[in-house]
Amino acid sequence: MNNQLKFQTLDTLAFDNSFTRELPADPETENYRRQVKQACYSRVKPTKVSQPQLVSYAREMAEKLDLASEVCETADFVEVFSGNRLLAGMDCYSTCYGGHQFGSWAGQLGDGRAINLGEIVNQQGERWALQLKGAGPTPYARMADGFAVLRSSVREFLCSEAMHHLGIPTTRALSLVTTGEQIVRDMFYDGNPRPEPGAVVCRVAQSFTRFGSFQILTARGETDVLQQLIDYTIRTDFPHLGEPSQDVYLAWFEEICCRTAEMIVHWMRVGFVHGVMNTDNMSVLGLTIDYGPYGWLEDYDPGWTPNTTDAGGRRYCFGNQPQIAHWNLAQLSQTIAPLVEQPESLQQALGCYKKEFERGWQSMMAQKLGLNAFDTETDDKLVTELQAILQLVETDMTIFYRQLAKIDVEPLTDVSKMTLLEPLMDAYYVPEQLTNDITTRIGNWMCSYKARVCKDGTLNDTRRRRMDAVNPKYVLRNYLAQLAIDKAEKGDNSMVNKLLELLRHPYDEQPDKEEYAGKRPDWARHRAGCSMLSCSS
């Protein structure tokens, strides 16, 4: 941190709560479940917990909030970020939103277990909103309890930070604490409830506003509140667009389309599957938000979804994510329509998503392959065949691209099939699946790839460096998160912290941590938490 900046104590953190100051509040302050009309939020306090204990904190995020590590290691920090102690300047509230769940309008949802603490403006002038997830029931908790279990909190904490270090827009995590309470969960909704340790994650973002935050207002015909929320969002989070006006509304929607496209391209690059892309889980800032039953592709299967609730329809599987984002944006465009004089122009703006996604996807694929630029004449075919060969046999996507970077382009001819495939063998889960026909097809692709790289004239080392900068070596493999959870549930937080450290440098070779870069072990193929998750995750 810059020498001229100084660290804060918890008590000197400067809160500046623009959301509650500028937007309409629910007048009711009692905490009971209800429909909240004509308001963006309800004031509500976290539930006190018996024995909060720190599991982990993210030091980069702490620094962003001007908090030194020593502060994060105090008992006071744990009291504050478990929700037991409120700081002066905090103004606690939960927001009202709706959403389309699995394609159907679900009405009011809202922050059922998330309580915002307020916003901090740090010494660099950045605004950060703090939110406790799992801090007890709110007016939006509906039939649920408002709490979160350690299992899902470890997953949210680690993945938010891992995504950040991968260079992917995301909400962040400051801290993870256990509460000392036991929470009963039926993990697969199959009549097997068990008590699990309760936990709270402090999430941090410029804003947690979702597509659904606007949708609920339009659905209820509350156009005046809709305009207030849109104008506030533009002024606070999109100030470069200028003062809200008809033109600015369109430019704003276009920017949401572009940001969403950029986020999805990143997900496709690293093999991230969100798992519940309902419109209430789509950030209007284009951030990855709400880490529930997400997963990481192991073998490359575009039809894979980590979410057991989605297993039937596979609406949210890896390969559908680009289309689903478009569908969600189409819902948002209809939501904004009442404020736009020429709603047809929203339709045009929606076209930006497809254009931006296509452009971003091509450029991303070129980077993954170490090409100078994507040349549709040759590369459409090259990439289509690549996607086909990745699906011929069980192939680990992450390892495949790292190994592909290692090959030497020369010699172009007179190479045996086995020599060509040799560097890729690490990526194959069941080598026996590699029949003669399949190895020939993969070998042919390798030859086209080498010829294509040769046309660029890029040196092997340069290409390797480029590829390694976009193809991560380390991702939060589903089974690694589960191993960390198994230990944490027994009171051993070491692996949570080890993974946090590992995932700070996902693109670097970390020779002492090779074990975390390997394929998913066989025992994890069908284990709950490793390949199957539910919304209660």
Catalytic residues: 280
- Determine the interface stretch with ligand AMP among 138-146, 159-167, 351-359, 389-397 (rule: CB under 6 A): 138-146
**DSSP secondary structure of 380-422:** HHHHHHHHHHHHHTTBBHHHHHHHHHH------SS--HHHHHG
Backbone dihedral angles phi then psi of residue 74, each to the nearest 5 degrees: -90, 160
Q: Which is nearer to ligand AMP, 398 or 537 (CB)?
A: 537
- Residue 109 interacting entry, from ligand AMP, Mg ion, none, C-beta within 5 to 8 Å by type: ligand AMP
- Return d(Cα 468, Cα 401) in angstroms, integer: 8
Structure tokens at 277: 């892309």
CB of 39: closest distance to Mg ion in angstroms? 19
- Residue 112 interacting entry, from Mg ion, ligand AMP, none, C-beta within 5 to 8 Å by type: ligand AMP
- Return d(Cα 271, Cα 478) in angstroms, integer: 12
Under the binding rule (CB under 6 A), the answer on residue 145 touching ligand AMP is yes
CB of 477: closest distance to ligand AMP in angstroms? 22
Under the binding rule (CB under 5 A), the answer on residue 328 touching Mg ion is no
- Return d(Cα 205, Cα 131) in angstroms, integer: 9
- Residue 472 interacting entry, from Mg ion, ligand AMP, none, C-beta within 5 to 8 Å by type: none
- Determine the interface stretch with ligand AMP among 17-25, 141-149, 165-173, 253-261 (rule: CB under 6 A): 141-149
Under the binding rule (CB under 6 A), the answer on residue 107 touching ligand AMP is no
Under the binding rule (CB under 6 A), the answer on residue 36 touching ligand AMP is no
Residue nearest ligand AMP, Cβ-based = 112
- Return d(Cα 537, Cα 22) in angstroms, integer: 34
- Which has the closest alpha carbon to 284: 343, 349, 218, 215? 215
Looking only at the bridges linking them, the beta strands covering 104-108 and 295-296 are: unpaired
Under the binding rule (CB under 6 A), the answer on residue 159 touching ligand AMP is no
Q: How far apart are the first and last CA of the chain?
A: 36
Q: Which is nearer to ligand AMP, 278 or 471 (CB)?
A: 278
Q: Which is nearer to ligand AMP, 44 or 485 (CB)?
A: 44
Q: In this structure, are residues 532 and 310 in contact, taking their beta carbons and an 8 Å threshold?
A: no
| Binding-site member from 141, 256, 277, 365 for ligand AMP (CB under 6 A) | 141
Each residue 291-320 as x (binds ligand AMP by CB under 6 A) or -, in order, gives -x----------------------------
**DSSP secondary structure of 204-233:** EES---BHHHHHHHHHTT-HHHHHHHHHHH
| Binding-site member from 5, 14, 75, 144 for ligand AMP (CB under 6 A) | 144
Which letter, b or e, does each residue of 269-305 get, where b requires 16 or more Cβ atoms within 10 Å of its Cβ? bbbbbbbbbbbbbbbbbbbbbbbbbbbbbbbbbbebb
- Return d(Cα 506, Cα 490) in angstroms, integer: 27
Q: In this structure, are residues 89 and 15 in contact, taking their beta carbons and an 8 Å threshold?
A: yes
| Binding-site member from 43, 64, 100, 113 for ligand AMP (CB under 6 A) | 113
Please enumerate in sequence order all residues whose Cβ is within 8 A of that of 21, keeping only pairs 6 or more positions apart, or say none: none
Under the binding rule (CB under 6 A), the answer on residue 278 touching ligand AMP is yes
Each residue 62-101 as x (binds ligand AMP by CB under 6 A) or -, in order, gives ----------------------------------------
- Residue 110 interacting entry, from ligand AMP, Mg ion, none, C-beta within 5 to 8 Å by type: ligand AMP
Binders in 286-325 for Mg ion, by CB under 5 A? 290
CB of 219: closest distance to Mg ion in angstroms? 17
Size, binding site for Mg ion by CB under 5 A: 2
Under the binding rule (CB under 5 A), the answer on residue 101 touching Mg ion is no
| Binding-site member from 66, 196, 222, 290 for ligand AMP (CB under 6 A) | 290
CB of 249: closest distance to Mg ion in angstroms? 26
Q: Which is nearer to ligand AMP, 10 or 535 (CB)?
A: 535
- Return d(Cα 474, Cα 487) in angstroms, integer: 20
Q: How many CA atoms lie within 13 A of 431 on its CB side?
A: 8
Cα dihedral sign, 61-65-66-69: negative
Give the bridge partners for 533, in sequence order.
Answer: 307
Under the binding rule (CB under 5 A), the answer on residue 281 touching Mg ion is yes
Under the binding rule (CB under 6 A), the answer on residue 370 touching ligand AMP is no
Under the binding rule (CB under 6 A), the answer on residue 112 touching ligand AMP is yes
- Return d(Cα 267, Cα 296) in angstroms, integer: 10
Q: Contact residues for ligand AMP (CB under 6 A)?
A: 109-113, 140-141, 144-147, 276, 278, 281, 290, 292, 535
